[in-house]
Structure 1
Amino acid sequence: MSRTRRRGFSRSDTSRAEAFSDGVLAIAVTLLALGLADPPHRPGGLGHALLAQWPSYLGYLASFGYVSVIWLNHRQAFVRVRVMDRGLHAANLLLLFTTVALSFPTAVVADALRADPAGSDARVAVALYAGLAAAMCLSWVAFYDQLARRPELLKPDAEPTYVRHGRLRSWAGALAYGAAGLLGVLVAPLWAVAVFVALPVFYFLTSEGLHEGPDIRPGEATR
């Protein structure tokens, strides 16, 4: 069997990877929602107890926004991916691994901010969140790097600039989350949380890449 034939045999369509990814991302969102619970309170103290949980709401907002734009960017990527190889499967699994893990630092940040929004534990917590969020961005770098090395995995009508722009967005996110972590450690944890809430907006606005105008073909838009 020739090398070319072996390489082709190791490839598969994207349907199973997309279905598995959608399921994992749905679980990731569910895990975030589990962090919202009925707070313990005395009779007549429910309102105060709910307000005291504001760090949980803020963490949920930041992380739900992040997972949501990951799903959106993931969908936009697979509109353009034609087939999968082992390297792209590995990059996709790394992306899912970091996404599901996001519920852990979200809970840590909420607990630390609830105890002391300016304390040392809150600074460590936002650094943890920033580190995992940056790792998630770097998993996208690995995803786009694989597409750059194997352009035949993309559909013929994929934009020539898509992979390059995807890399730029991913590196920008990794640097931004890293900077937010430093801001939270050195200045104030709440400043870092504000960046965590704002960054998903950037990814939402650029979910179809940095090119001008939508390039999704009419037949693909209903996929």
Structure 2
Amino acid sequence: MARRPAAHDRIAVLGLGRFGSSLALELTRQGWEVVGVDADPRNVQALADELSHAAVADTTDEEALRQLGVHEMTTVVVGFGSAIEASILTTSLLTDLGVPHILAKAVSRPHATILRRVGAHHVVLPEHEMGERVAHLVTGQILDVIAFDGDYVHAKVCAPEAVIDRTLAGAEVRATHGVTVVAIKRPGEPFTYTTPDTTVYAGDLLIVAGASRSVRAFAGLG
């Protein structure tokens, strides 16, 4: 496994509930050195053998974070959200400590707004984002979807009948449907980038980018 530069190979995950523990374990699998911190000894004990270091500490205590070296890390995740006050105080403290990249979990849009105002560089709302993703999956022929800022998405769709046996240029996909086909996958082959001359056949999978409404409409073409 490729080794990351020493200055960037440690990440602290503060809060080891369902979200934080899942994230910490995945980061560990990817080769990161993860320092997990939680106020509940049971959560820490559950991951003690899995993480590089796990500690029981109050994340709103500056001295405790300094002792753990959190202030020296490039990236810190505030992985708890239900304790809103502690979440905000912790994020604000990390900002004061000069942590270059702070990612925080929010439980609501107002909570997310406050986290950004006190210094979080990136905020996730797992339940809300998962709800949006599932909504895409159950309302059409979309097989998977990644939502970005605003209403822009990348989606994996089955090739709709309207473009089968036609090139992307010939079907005028972008001009007619307002989406861009970024990649294509033939049965039994890996995804490859498309060109205007790419011909779409029955059974192909497409990666389509565009506004959510346009992508849904394209995926549902007969």
Output the TM-score relative to the length of structure 2. Answer: 0.23
Between Structure 1 and Structure 2, which shows a larger proportion of helix residues? 1
Query: Rg: which structure is higher?
Result: 2
Output the TM-score relative to the length of structure 1. Answer: 0.23
User: Which of structures 1 and 2 has the larger relative contact order (alpha carbons within 8 angstroms, sep 6+)?
Assistant: 1
Between Structure 1 and Structure 2, which shows a larger proportion of strand residues? 2
